[in-house]
Structure 1
Amino acid sequence: MDWKARLLLLDGLNPSMDEGGRLVWGTLADAPEDAELVFLGLDRSDGGEKACFACVPPEGDARPRMANPQLWALMTALAPDQLALYGGARSLVDWHARHRFCAQCGGGTTIAKGGWQRTCTACGADHFPRTDPVSIMLVEHGGKLLLGRGLGWPEGRFSALAGFVEPGETIEEGVAREVLEEVGVVVRDVRYILSQPWPFPSQLMIGCIGQAEGTEITLDETEMAEAHWFTREDVIASLEARDDAPMVSPPPHTIAHQLFRWWVAQ
């Protein structure tokens, strides 16, 4: 056992943090005897070289972020660099926890390649951690943004529309389809802005902007609680958390928040 190696301490899938909003690390001695360990990478921050690991928990969690308010609160307290590290580790160990059996034959799987693969003990099939592409888009028309509030979201919380890119679609097609399905608005001239990994459980958020051909909204009430057009001043007020803001913007660590700031700066 290498006592210089570090083990990311997790409470199930939730992060363990110190008072400064940084992740807490232990040694491999803190790992349960029968735990599966995933290799996260090498830490060279102090001039040395320490291997970093995380334990696969007994159970995974594929719920959306809003279904876990405790985790949401913990994430807002993490420093940005710590949040990126935690997100990658969470996505990886969660995948392992939910893929202990082979999708091809149903046999048990074992960890391989330091945790970046699982191999079936029955048929030998190899399985790899997945990333699911999700389009998240600003919809613009006449200097206004179309934003929505999802079912179960807190009152007043609005964000960019979003949805999975389906097999056979381009990113642009995924954006146009999701906007049409959720709010009944036709979108054109879609272009990419920025992206963000999102470990709920393993998405890659692909931030885009598109131009709406009209402003009439036909809401899909099975997915959305409400959707409205907001002015630039509305968005600025929400980002500044002013009392007169007509909505609450997404937290700073989300891609939606960064999309808002990008749009305001244009």
Structure 2
Amino acid sequence: MSFELVELPALSRFTVDRREQLRGDAERIAQLWPKARVLTVDGQGRTLVADRGTRLVDRPAVEFGDEPPDDAVLLGERDGVAYWAVPVAGDETEVAAPAGRVWARPELTDEPQWLDLRTCGALLDDTGAGLFTSAVALFHWHRSARFCAVCGGAQESVKSGWARVCSRCGREEYPRTDAAVICLVHDGADRVLLARGEGWPAGRYSVLAGFVEAGESLEACVAREVEEEVGVEVGEIRYLGSQPWPFPRSLMIGFQAVADPAVPLRLADGEIAQARWVSRADVRQALEAPGSVPDLLLAPGASIAYRMIQSWALAG
């Protein structure tokens, strides 16, 4: 049994024109700036969102000056409106979020509140999800690329935030993307293999994933990662779809594969805490009523893992 994604993953949605030519067109940027809209993003990757996580709160560009600030990034244009993002310091937002991944989700309100992409990515409309995802990815990159990898000189943002140039040797650098595979392994019938990573909350399960190594194809990576993490061989590897995952700079490339549930699982020490085969009926119930199936909390809606699990559950 094979299946396809029922919808685009939440963070794969994008509606604005992000062609490279606009980023270096100073005249066009100047024309668009007076009517542009600007997102503010803090150091924790959060922006202001209202209406219970469904609407980005942007601001008129003119509030930031007569032209884009040096640290602004151009996200794209739609219907004659340019969308930008600017970073803000922690003291301009509410109490800073704790470092590291936070599993508990804040209570959503109608009033504007600072939310991260994991919390609201699946709740935003297509435009909002795409803008926020791009902004988070770009600011992660800018924070980690302050110095030239060749000579160590300080780098400055150019091309509307889509490149950095070294002030010493002139080398240009562009945003990095790390390829990672994510694979839903099933038995070809009505069971799916789910795993819980070390450090995850009790009962939290998802599909298997890992980074692509140098000189490795995507399909080879799928086979290697599944064998390394749970000790089973897979076949019938098929592409499903992809999604940016800017934590900090991954592109998740989704696959499905088939394995034999009779093969004993061998878990990667220090990486996989638990793994088990789960029936389609239990997965459907866990999706429809989170928390209703004991010891089975599934991936959140902003992740491609959620869309993969949902699509498999509906395919039978």
Superposition TM-score tier, normalisation by shorter sequence: 0.7 to 0.9
* Aligned residue in 2 for 1:36: 71
| Cα pair 1:146 1:229 within 8 Å, conserved | yes
**What pairs up with 1:1-266 in 2 under 5 angstroms?**
2-12=33-43, 13-20=45-52, 21-31=54-64, 35-44=70-79, 49-56=80-87, 65-66=101-102, 71=116, 74-75=119-120, 78-81=123-126, 82-141=128-187, 143=189, 144-213=191-260, 214-241=262-289, 243-244=292-293, 246-266=295-315
The answer to which of 182-191 and 2-11 deviates more is 2-11
Mapped to 2, the partners of 1:58 and 1:122 lie a distance apart of: 27
1:217-261 CA deviation, whole Å, 9 max, x = no partner?
Answer: 111131111111111112111111262455112222321111112
Letter in 1 for 2:284: I
Q: Amino acid of the residue matched to residue 55 of structure 2?
A: R
State the distance in 2 between where 1:67 and 1:126 align. 37
Partner secondary structure for residue 87 of structure 1: helix
Q: Once the 2 structures are TM-superposed, how far is the Cα of residue 64 of structure 1 from its aligned partner?
A: 6.7
Letter in structure 2 aligned against 1:23: L
In structure 2, what is the Cα distance between the partners aligned to 1:58 and 1:100? 17
Distance change (3 Å), C-alpha of 1:74 and 1:264: closer
**Unaligned stretches of 5+ residues in structure 1:** none
Deviation at 1:67, TM superposition (A): 7.3
Q: CA deviation at 1:31?
A: 4.1
Q: 1:67 to 1:146 in 2, by over 3 A?
A: same
Q: Write the distance in 1 (CA, Å) between the matches of 2:256 and 2:298.
A: 17
1:69–1:120 CA distance, 2 compared to 1 (3 A)? farther
Aligned length: 260
Compute the RMSD of aligned alpha carbons. 2.6
Q: Aligned AA for 1:257?
A: Y
The question of whether the paired residues in 1 share the 8 Å contact of 2:122 and 2:301 is answered with: no
**Paired amino acid for 1:121:** S
Instruction: State whether residues 66 and 72 of structure 1, in contact with CA within 8 Å, keep that contact through their aligned partners in structure 2.
Output: no
Q: Distance in 2 between matches of 1:168 and 1:68?
A: 38
Q: Give the CA deviation at 1:90.
A: 0.8
**CA spacing shift, 1:208–1:77, aligned 2, 3 Å:** closer
Residue in structure 1 matched with residue 9 of structure 2 by the alignment: none
Does the 8 A contact of 1:17 with 1:23 survive in 2? yes
Aligned-residue offset at 1:111 = 1.1
- TM-score normalised to the size of structure 1? 0.87
Q: Provide the C-alpha distance between the structure 1 equivalents of 2:250 and 2:125, rounded to a whole number of angstroms.
A: 18
Q: Tell me the TM-score normalised to structure 2 length.
A: 0.74
Change (3 A) 1:249 1:163: same
DSSP-derived class of the 2:265 partner:
coil
SS at match of 1:118: strand
Identity %: 40
Question: What letter corresponds to residue 264 of structure 1 in structure 2?
Answer: A
In 2, Cα distance between equivalents of 1:165 and 1:128: 20
Does the Cα contact within 8 Å between 1:7 and 1:30 map onto a contact in 2? no
Q: CA deviation at 1:96?
A: 1.1
